[in-house]
Structure 1
């Protein structure tokens, strides 16, 4: 069976199925004032509990993780929500528990109706807050996992962020949820706790019973119920391998990212929010190669102000303490919908009005972001990057807007880095083909492999009928990447790579041999990449790269890379 891998790791153990939703009865009441008093008392208790939870989370996971629950306090103090709940009691004469649930259901249904995974996942925070209020109204106890007689794998329809933050690692080996997504707070907390987690597994709870044995891989999302000894042994071997690899990865903490013969590369990290900064620091990331700024715009009713954006960028920039931070401008459209931006439905959204195309039409919205990014550059090493570039005209139009923003800040005597470096993403074949021209306009390239593969091979990787055609080993992809690197270097600019291919260990020596400057990956993969990098000399990497570029078949390329990695696997 398979769900979505949310937090890497292998877990083997008996299942504990967490009960579903709280039973809330609906009944008529006579004293509305008393119900509202009970509600206000439950709100105060809930706020007090969350304040304690913030302290607990900050102590166990860090300050940034504790901030997840500050949003819960804001919800508990939200006058619009409070007024809706109290008016339901006064108008219907039904009990307060029902009113809380009914109001919550209204907002959750609204969030879930949006074609936006971010908003759907944020609704779990509201459910978390609602459950807490109802628990306090009904004087219900929550499960104390620390008192379990044995360590278990937890299975649930869903977990709330507050439940997840308090899971004890010595009692909860991992968890599987029917709902949820990989960018939810639950997934982020699980990663920070180091608990293997699978989310979005679908209707699986009925498949479990009290004696079910589970083996799960939180990296791939794969799990088995009551597996045979062969599968158990395979997962045990995988667990031992991953534990050994994790120990080996620690040996390169604090070291440079260099080849066997001393050539330096840069391994930086992809993040979507300041909350992920701790992971970058803990995993020794050498900077931020991709700050996905669109997440600042999501989960709200209007665009963030210049000051809000500045504060967000500033946290990351100051947190990186002089290391480079590349902020990608708003990449909206495609699979990232933001309702208040009112982008019309399109037949082919991935080929439509998105990213820099949208920003160049909505200049004032774009300039707010550009000014915020420029202002953040006064606090550290900031670079700005523009997505979805297909022509030199777009680059020049963006640069013109950036200069306007610089002039506005200068006129108001607001500090910024006048020499801020600008870059573009190479993710459209047209940009790759004219990369020799584009390289004259910017300071760096970042090759976005996910879209470059999709657009070059003309394959939707989410389409199961053709998903096997989506591969980074296609000769056209590797030749385009090689061309972009060469063209960038001819003009003296640096070239990085992001997307899934950037963290593919099999492709590591190929990109090293192509003289790539920077790898931008998720924080958890920094040390693994650095460790394997030390196995190859530049001469060996170039030989591998040159051999690969001459091959005609993606399957042959994949097989050769597998054989190559097997040869180097034992080198430490």
Structure 2
């Protein structure tokens, strides 16, 4: 057996034949055209054809995976029509001069180089989108119609150096068992699409995987981030059994997804969904979500080419609240910065954006931006079960300042005769160690806490969670992180405040007994994880989990913690 290690970016296990995804090379000659005007016309006509094709992909994606994920291709259309890109191509055609193909390549690669020079995972991922769009136009210019998967005749695990969003969505999904790419990362659009499609995926293995022969049987483990080849009969049977067992557990959990999450000794907790908008509601409700523990509003901003106005935001929030039909929805105010940037905000370059102007810091520095969102939130929350929370809070003064802006917006709307949410609960994200350590003080200013374990782990352990080379260190099972979580829950409960977790830890099977034992009130996670999480909770005794939680707080390493919980509950290894 041979194992290639990467980073698992979409959970699941797939077993099947290799299909090496290789698109036709976009080869072209570079030359000085006799008539630049003809080249410019060729480029414009090719853009028009590419626009029709991308729009068709968008329509297909919207019907298959929902509006939020399909908005990737709306962004592609915006890139395609970007006047700066068009001006750059035109300049190279007329002034260098270059033929249309060479001008497009030079202009698009210059854009990509600028994006890749920024030390930010989000911008580097967007360079792949620019190349995807440029490739669509180039293929029209060159008259290339081959897709790269004409020979895909059986369900397979797709391997490629990079698989663009367009490639991903136009594949026949019945023929895709999993994705493995050398390039990309947790924030790439292809990764997001793979998760939406429920397809296991990993990124970042060695380039030796590109030499695996088509048809060779392999296993892809999206949980561990492993690609396994050269299996003998026993090893193959083990992966097959593991895959089938997970499917059986998921089927059983789905059948009981709408039952409450109550332990054997009668303790009930809330299991909620993390969502980006209204299109996520059907899946969340199907999987048994009892609430929305995290409504990520920044995705409405990331998918726009300009700042969404108050009315646009109001409609988006109101539609999402309506879709969840009275269930509590915790809306997080704009969390931009770090790995999420808005090009149209023209934010200054920061050497370390994760420690820079982001979250509540950015909003308090940009009051017009903040007020526009808060006005939309207050209007949308009228006669709805809406809760508001602020991200990246470190101290009391930030909470007070944010609440002052909120009250200012409330009074403005009342003066305008517009209905607003009354007595809307206000909370904060606990994702900075300073906030965790001061939770007993911060609790006096808020109605609830929601712990963001992804960033809390990153800041506590001084590890960039987007760096695949450090993925083993950015671990929320670390006892240092668990101790901070315990202290936040204790501080919140002493002041009578609800405490939830909306980071990835909430949906980790081995973490659920620990969080239960620490007294967590709400578990919020991606919708596909909800049925299994509720099933696990129903298998627990609260008294037992309290003993486990206290024990792991005294351990030394994350692996010690995981091994201890797995030994106490062996069935969790099957989920």
Q: Which band: TM-score by shorter chain?
A: 0.7 to 0.9
Determine the C-alpha separation between the residues in 2 that align with 1:438 and 1:517: 18
> Paired residue for 2:218, among 214, 224, 231?
214
Bigger drift between 107-116 and 17-26 goes to: 17-26
Contact preservation (8 Å) 1:215, 1:235: yes
Unaligned runs of 5+ in 2: none
Aligned position for 1:13: 16
Aligned position for 2:446: 442
Determine the C-alpha separation between the residues in 2 that align with 1:338 and 1:158: 25
The 1:22/1:221 distance shift into structure 2, 3 A limit, reads farther
Aligned position for 2:364: 360
1:505 aligns with 2:509: yes
Bigger drift between 35-44 and 188-197 goes to: 35-44
Give the secondary structure class of the aligned counterpart of 2:569.
Answer: helix
Contact preservation (8 Å) 2:72, 2:303: no
Determine the C-alpha separation between the residues in 2 that align with 1:315 and 1:202: 44
The 1:545/1:200 distance shift into structure 2, 3 A limit, reads closer
Determine the C-alpha separation between the residues in 2 that align with 1:42 and 1:505: 50
Aligned position for 1:396: 400
Q: How many residues align?
A: 569
1:171 aligns with 2:175: yes
1:133 aligns with 2:137: yes
1:255 aligns with 2:259: yes
The 1:456/1:23 distance shift into structure 2, 3 A limit, reads closer
Give the secondary structure class of the aligned counterpart of 2:444.
Answer: coil
The 1:543/1:215 distance shift into structure 2, 3 A limit, reads closer
Q: Superposed, which structure 2 residues align to 1:225-236 within 5 Å?
A: 225-229=229-233, 231-236=235-240
Using the size of structure 2 for normalisation, the TM-score is 0.86
Determine the C-alpha separation between the residues in 2 that align with 1:473 and 1:210: 38
Aligned position for 1:418: 422
Q: How much does 1:250 deviate?
A: 1.5
Aligned position for 2:245: 241
Determine the C-alpha separation between the residues in 1 that align with 2:28 and 2:280: 36
Determine the C-alpha separation between the residues in 2 that align with 1:318 and 1:561: 39
Give the secondary structure class of the aligned counterpart of 2:268.
Answer: coil
Determine the C-alpha separation between the residues in 1 that align with 2:479 and 2:201: 35
The 1:195/1:547 distance shift into structure 2, 3 A limit, reads closer
Aligned position for 1:286: 290
Contact preservation (8 Å) 1:17, 1:205: no
Determine the C-alpha separation between the residues in 2 that align with 1:496 and 1:538: 17
Give the secondary structure class of the aligned counterpart of 2:168.
Answer: helix
The 1:309/1:184 distance shift into structure 2, 3 A limit, reads farther
Determine the C-alpha separation between the residues in 1 that align with 2:110 and 2:467: 33
Give the secondary structure class of the aligned counterpart of 2:18.
Answer: strand
Aligned position for 1:524: 528
> Paired residue for 2:496, among 472, 492, 513?
492
Contact preservation (8 Å) 2:68, 2:277: no
Determine the C-alpha separation between the residues in 2 that align with 1:214 and 1:171: 15
Using the size of structure 1 for normalisation, the TM-score is 0.87
Aligned position for 1:31: 35
